[in-house]
Structure 1
Amino acid sequence: MTEPQVWVLIGVFATAVFGMLTWQTISFNRALRTSIDSLREVMDVRFEAVNARFDAVDAKIDALDRDVQALTRHVFGTDPR
């Protein structure tokens, strides 16, 4: 362990291992970020579809409410006609 070549090889191997760990970490982070971004896009599309369905249900409920009010006025005799 006193030879300079041994210390140079230890340094080279340590640098190589550190470099590989860095490369793997960066690669993993990029892949994870890409997956999360694509998942967000899919979720946004799904949320828009759900919001459209809720809007349609709201419109139907408003129409139903109007019809029930008209029937109530007609049955209880408060119809202006």
Structure 2
Amino acid sequence: MLTMTEPQVWVLIGVFAAAIFGMLTIMSTLFVRVLRSEIGGLRGEMHGIHERLDRLDRDINALMKHTFGIDRD
């Protein structure tokens, strides 16, 4: 039976700790990368919505001017 004083046990503990630390690093890096890309996509979508609202506002103003005769020369 192996005891905690044998070098093989400490090597296995070190390898296991290094593997866990490596997996934690990879997963956190990938998570941050995915989060940044999702936020970037959301920003692009919000910009598109803003442009659509500006066009809708322009169209409504044109209809109001046409319907009520506002700003006619």
Q: Structure 1 counterpart of 2:52, which letter?
A: A
Misfit runs of 4+, over 4 Å: none
The count of residues paired between Structure 1 and Structure 2 equals 67
Normalising by structure 1, report the TM-score: 0.70
Question: Structure 2: where are the runs of 5+ without partners?
Answer: none
Kindly indicate whether residue 8 of structure 2 is the aligned counterpart of residue 5 of structure 1.
Answer: yes
Normalising by structure 2, report the TM-score: 0.77
Equivalent-residue separation in structure 2 for 1:3 and 1:65 (angstroms): 94
CA drift at 1:60: 3.0
- Kindly report the root-mean-square deviation, in angstroms, between the aligned alpha carbons of the 2 structures: 1.8
Q: Which has the larger radius of gyration?
A: 1
Equivalent-residue separation in structure 2 for 1:6 and 1:57 (angstroms): 76
Name the structure 2 match of 1:59.
Answer: 62
